[in-house]
Amino acid sequence: MGLHRVVEPAGVLPQAAWRLDADPRIASNEVRIRVERLNLDAASFRQLSDKHGGDGEKVRAEVLEIISTRGKMQNPVTGSGGMLIGTVEEAGKRSPLGLKQGDRVATLVSLTLTPLMILDGLSRWDGRSEQVPCDGYAILFARSIAAVLPADLHPELSLAVLDVCGAPALTARVVAEQVDRRRRGGDARPVRVAVIGGAGKSGSLSLAAARRAGAARTVGVVPVTGERDALVAAGLADEVALADARDPVGLSTAVTTALGAPADVTVVCVDVPGCEHGAILATEDGGTVIFFSMATSFAAAALGAEGLAADVTMLVGNGYAPGHADLALELLRAEPGVRRLFEARLAAD
Amino acid sequence: MGLHRVVEPAGVLPQAAWRLDADPRIASNEVRIRVERLNLDAASFRQLSDKHGGDGEKVRAEVLEIISTRGKMQNPVTGSGGMLIGTVEEAGKRSPLGLKQGDRVATLVSLTLTPLMILDGLSRWDGRSEQVPCDGYAILFARSIAAVLPADLHPELSLAVLDVCGAPALTARVVAEQVDRRRRGGDARPVRVAVIGGAGKSGSLSLAAARRAGAARTVGVVPVTGERDALVAAGLADEVALADARDPVGLSTAVTTALGAPADVTVVCVDVPGCEHGAILATEDGGTVIFFSMATSFAAAALGAEGLAADVTMLVGNGYAPGHADLALELLRAEPGVRRLFEARLAAD
């Protein structure tokens, strides 16, 4: 778990640590990666960019400062990190990850717990995109997870998919359970799914996963007409609705209108604060809300459901599930609509 | 939902609002309560007390300032509130709550969304306890929930139970589902439950609820020997273990040792930050963690599970479930151990 890399405070796990030891010399169960690119978490990049009014130079300086101070990339405000790609430079003899020198990999654990050292001052990054080309080192622990990048996909495309691969995995599981529960109970009602932020990375994959898991009716909610048109063209949702996710009444009205009833499963994939109440209001009694956004406030969700007397199950989106990387890459390959959305997003970056 | 009471920012629900309108004149679907006592959320009181080094006078002044500025009691740091008891002074003709003038009630929705005005400057409160005697007004909306206080229990005892009644309700549901799933799958393994903070209010009720829902083996984890002795005497758990919940390895070792395996369901009831990783580590793959503490960090939970490659379901503790008040009061009446812990806690306040 990398406890020996924790500098302060003592005793916590690397993700909770203020500072990690990013010494490039590895222990026998560790792996050192030569990093070529970081992919900052969307909530983190947005916070930094907003703070500096979009001044890329200042964003770059702050990211460098965070990494050199903390020994890892963890935004102190959002608490979130991101992921990286690179090449295995040295694998310890006792590492259980099955990686060998020269493998090109993406890390599936967060940057918030990955010791990291930057060697080029991020000189090739303009501070205006979540994608950060760089040169540096990172360390993987025995319990870290990394995926060897598939040969049939562009590395940036794989990275973008792997970054959010926990979302379709958990969505598929929750929808399948709901379908199964209805079937067992002799309940013929269709399972309805709403994905808030349906045109984004985790959103489009979650829509595809929900349909495949047996959702009878799906809606993707987006904030602007450009995303609406793109999601309609992608054909991933039965309905596409326009709404501001921060407006609780507007959001729940849009979902209920599109589905003909509140959603049985609502998946929140938008990286802006304040979407908890709308998601709860948009969900049927007995239904489930899955929060994937790192901008989610635990207290707003807990107290919001209580304040609305809403009998909904609320899940913290876990970035890990067995087989999550393979499922997400498979969805990308099988669903042209997903692939088009991802490629358009990468082209715009 | 009380949207008309939101002063700023416009369009959000009352819980998310910075400021509410606490005008004592009610709309036809509202109810005005004459408040006699507030019960501050434990995380909120702890934050205020720590901030002011235990100086009750300063704590009192800050609570007064929060209520007069915001029109509600919502700690700006923790985001949490608490609840209140009082007497119905006026019930609007169209209120669906079924309350009438003179009913002595406890609110089951959070103070964070309840318009509140204090009339006595909190002069009877010393700022050293979560229980705040006071005189003032509060407003209930159509969708608020309030319970008429039972005649057979002391009001303070009822209030303390109702304050946390969402915890045993959700614990019972999750444990029963796990038991049912094992039975359907022909899996004979016993369902194991760990309650972190098992001697506290929500913790002791959750232990009793878990056992009643079919948990075969339970452990209550507590931080100090005084609580250990009290919980052993209460007889609510099969095992009682001492551990600091902020120490991930220590906590998971204590749980696994006591239960003979990691927990299938882990319930977090301690109001201190930094318990997410220990709870995740203490939980079996395929198991569930329920976070009831308002000190829970969404990002720490989400990224912690990912970083540990832990296949656990993580639930945001919803303060509402149908029948939650009756279930909790029934547990108090039926379980002498629960009652003793509650009465000892009230006596110590």
Pairing type for strands B146-148 and B104-107 reads antiparallel
| Residues of A in Cβ contact (< 8 Å) with B80 | 299, 303
Whether B253 has its CB under 8 Å from any CB of chain A: the answer is no
Q: What is the dihedral of CA B339, B340, B346, B347, to 10 degrees?
A: 150
CB–CB contact A311 B301 (8 Å): no
User: Distance from first CA to last CA of chain A, Å, rounded?
Assistant: 34
CB A14 within 8 A of CB B307: yes
3-state secondary structure B264-298: EEEEECCCCCCCHHHHHHCEEEEEEEEECCCCCCH
pLDDT at B308: 86
What percent of chain A is modeled with pLDDT above 90? 80
CB–CB contact A299 B248 (8 Å): no
By three-state DSSP, how is residue A32 classified? strand
Q: Is pLDDT above 90 for A62? A: yes
B147-161 average pLDDT score:
89
B261-284 average pLDDT score:
95
Interface of A with B in 178-217 (CB under 8 A): none
CB–CB contact B316 A314 (8 Å): yes
Q: Is pLDDT above 80 for A270? A: yes
Long-range contacts of B59-68 (CB under 8 A, 24+ apart): B59/B127, B59/B128, B60/B122, B60/B125, B60/B126, B60/B127, B63/B122, B63/B127, B63/B132, B64/B118, B64/B121, B64/B122, B67/B116, B67/B117, B67/B118, B68/B118
Exposure b/e, A211-229, CB count within 10 A at least 16 = b? bbbbbebbbbbbbeeebbe
> If you ran DSSP here, which 8-state letter would residue A214 be given?
T
3-state secondary structure B256-271: HHHHCCCEEEEEECCC
B40-51 average pLDDT score:
92
Q: Is pLDDT above 70 for A168? A: yes
Burial of residue B104 (CB within 10 Å: 0-12, 13-18, 19+) is: middle
| Residues of B in Cβ contact (< 8 Å) with A77 | none
B159-190 pLDDT, tens digit per residue, is 889 989 999 999 999 999 999 999 999 999 99
Residues B5 and A334: their CA atoms lie apart, in Å, by 49
CB B237 within 8 A of CB B222: no
CB A127 within 8 A of CB A57: yes
CB A178 within 8 A of CB A325: no
Chain B's closest residue to A165, CA to CA, is B306
- Reading the block at residue A108, the tokens are 């599936």
Residues A205 and A327: their CA atoms lie apart, in Å, by 10
Among partner residues A143, A291, A307, which is closest to B113 by beta-carbon distance? Answer: A307
> What's the mean per-residue pLDDT of chain B?
94
A117-155 pLDDT, tens digit per residue, is 999 999 999 999 998 999 999 999 987 888 889 999 998
Among partner residues B108, B302, B309, which is closest to A317 by beta-carbon distance? Answer: B302
Residues A130 and A148: their CA atoms lie apart, in Å, by 21
CB A300 within 8 A of CB A280: no
Q: Cα Rg for chain A, rounded, in angstroms?
A: 20
Phi, psi of A272 (to 5 degrees): -125, 145
Q: Is pLDDT above 90 for B80? A: no
Q: Amino acid letter at A216? A: A
B286-341 pLDDT, tens digit per residue, is 999 999 998 999 999 998 898 888 999 999 999 889 889 999 999 999 999 999 99
Q: Is pLDDT above 80 for A349? A: no
Complex ipTM > 0.90 = no
Whether B314 has its CB under 8 Å from any CB of chain A: the answer is yes
What percent of chain B is modeled with pLDDT above 70? 100
CB B220 within 8 A of CB B236: yes
> What's the mean per-residue pLDDT of chain A?
94
pLDDT at A41: 87
A89 to chain B nearest CA, in Å? 22
pLDDT at B217: 98
- How crowded is residue A51: how many other Cβ atoms within 10 Å of its Cβ? 14
Chain B's closest residue to A15, CA to CA, is B304
CB A112 within 8 A of CB A20: no
Q: Is pLDDT above 90 for A307? A: no
Interface of A with B in 260-289 (CB under 8 A): 274, 276-277
Long-range contacts of A232-237 (CB under 8 A, 24+ apart): A233/A337, A233/A340, A234/A199, A234/A204, A234/A337, A234/A338, A234/A340, A234/A341, A235/A337, A236/A198, A236/A204, A236/A207, A236/A208, A236/A211, A236/A335, A236/A337, A236/A338, A236/A341, A237/A195, A237/A198, A237/A207
Q: Amino acid letter at B208? A: A
pLDDT at B349: 65
Q: In 3D, which of A146, A122, A101, A136 has the Cα closest to residue A58?
A: A122
pLDDT tier, B11 (very low <50, low <70, confident <90, very high otherwise): confident
Q: Is pLDDT above 80 for A1? A: no
- Reading the block at residue A70, the tokens are 């903390």
CB B130 within 8 A of CB B42: yes
